[in-house]
Amino acid sequence: MKVEIIIVREPIIHTALEPLAKAWHGTLVKGVADCKRDVFALGGEWHMDANNVLIADGSAQQDLWGFNVYPKERGESAIEYISLVNIRPSQGNRGMEIEDSAIRENIAALIHRFLPGLDV
């Protein structure tokens, strides 16, 4: 069975992450958030896979930021803000980690709203 990348637009139970983690990375799920549209995509071998799904859904590249979710963790350790798609010198982000605290807070709020079981 092929596991698809999912776009999260409403709350889901955190156990829905388990098949995504198993399919690609075991302990983590790659994600990309659209901070303007308040949605995110989960799954894929690379962040760019979820990134491309959101682009096809109508997102603009400048609004997309990558992160990782650890389904077995809770709180702040359940998320990290690291991805190659985050390297954007033109937007003031020169490394893989999201440097802007407002963007990080936006992503944490989305995860808190749509994946409440992670207690982010």
pLDDT digits (tens, 9 = 90+) for 5-26: 999 999 998 888 888 899 888 8
Report the half-sphere exposure of 27 (CA within 13 A, side-chain side): 5
pLDDT digits (tens, 9 = 90+) for 61-93: 999 999 999 999 999 999 999 999 999 999 999
Q: What pLDDT score was predicted for residue 111? A: 95
Tell me, letter by letter, the H, E, C secondary structure of 53-79: HHHHCCCCHHHEEEEEECCCCCHHHHE
What span, in angstroms and rounded, lies between the C-alpha atoms of 66 and 95? 12
The residues that bridge with 64 in the sheet, in sequence order, are 34
Query: Taking the chain, what is the end-to-end CA distance rounded to the nearest angstrom?
Result: 30
What span, in angstroms and rounded, lies between the C-alpha atoms of 20 and 22? 5
